[in-house]
Amino acid sequence: MRRKICYILVIAAIIVLAVCLLPYPAAVNCKIEGVLWNDVDDNVETVKITIRGRYYKYLLRNNVFKGEFLVSDVNSWGMFLKDYDILKFETKKLNEYERAWLAYYDRYQNKISWLGTITFKGNFKEFVISLDYSSGDDAHYYISSPSLNREEAYKLAHKMA
């Protein structure tokens, strides 16, 4: 009888550990329109973003996204973004939002670099990307979605800050 209880406890412990340590994967495949804007002037540019991959939700660890995060061709303010492939990012939970650093492989320069940070809610239903880009005008550049104009993009960025 005692041996039976030990077996049951060991099996229960294994099940609890598996539930706590293994991720819950969710497929992500969406095309989103957003707004590229800066905090200096009123110029905005519509960008198309394609997100494909898997989002792994963990109970006791940071969540992880593995896949592609493609930003359509953007050529404004002297900045050029071309199909950045995000390799993987690990998120930190902040209230109802998650935040992560974005590392990407730039296939034109054949190197891995930082694009900036992303703050998002849900399966990328709302997000703001703060770009690590300097154009010499002391402006900070952002991509916000869903947003149709600078005012909506600004409100979303401040809500998620």
Structural domains in the chain (count): 1
What are the residues facing 76 on neighbouring strands? Answer: 79
What percent of the chain lies above the pLDDT cut of 70? 80
Domain membership of residue 3 (yes or no) is no
- DSSP type of residue 41: S
Q: pTM of the predicted model, to two decimals?
A: 0.73
Q: Is the peptide bond before 146 cis (omega within 30 degrees of 0)?
A: yes
Per-residue pLDDT reduced to its tens digit, 118-136: 888 877 888 888 887 666 6
106 falls within a domain: yes
Domain presence at residue 88: yes
The SS3 of residue 58 is: coil
Question: Burial, 106: exposed, middle or buried (Cβ in 10 Å; 0-12, 13-18, 19+)?
Answer: middle
Residue 43 sits in a domain whose CATH number is 2.40.160
In a domain, 156, yes or no: yes
Q: What is the pLDDT of residue 77?
A: 46
**pLDDT tens for residues 7-24?**
888 888 888 877 777 778
- Residue-number span of the structural domain to which 36 is assigned: 24-160
What is the per-residue pLDDT for 156?
87
Residue 137 has pLDDT above 50, yes or no: yes
8 domain-assigned? no
Instruction: Return the pLDDT at 85.
Output: 55
pLDDT (average), residues 67-90? 59
- Please report, for residues 80, 81, 90, 126, the alpha-carbon distance to residue 130 in angstroms, rounded to integers and kept in the order given: 15, 14, 16, 14
Q: What is the pLDDT of residues 14-67, one digit of tens each?
A: 888 777 777 788 888 888 888 888 877 778 888 888 888 888 888 777 788 877
Q: Nearest to residue 141, comparing CAs of 78, 70, 97, 65?
A: 78
Residue 28 belongs to a domain:
yes
CB 23 within 8 A of CB 56: yes
Task: For residue 44, tell me if it sits in a domain.
Answer: yes
pLDDT number for residue 24: 80
Report yes or no on 93 lying in a domain: yes
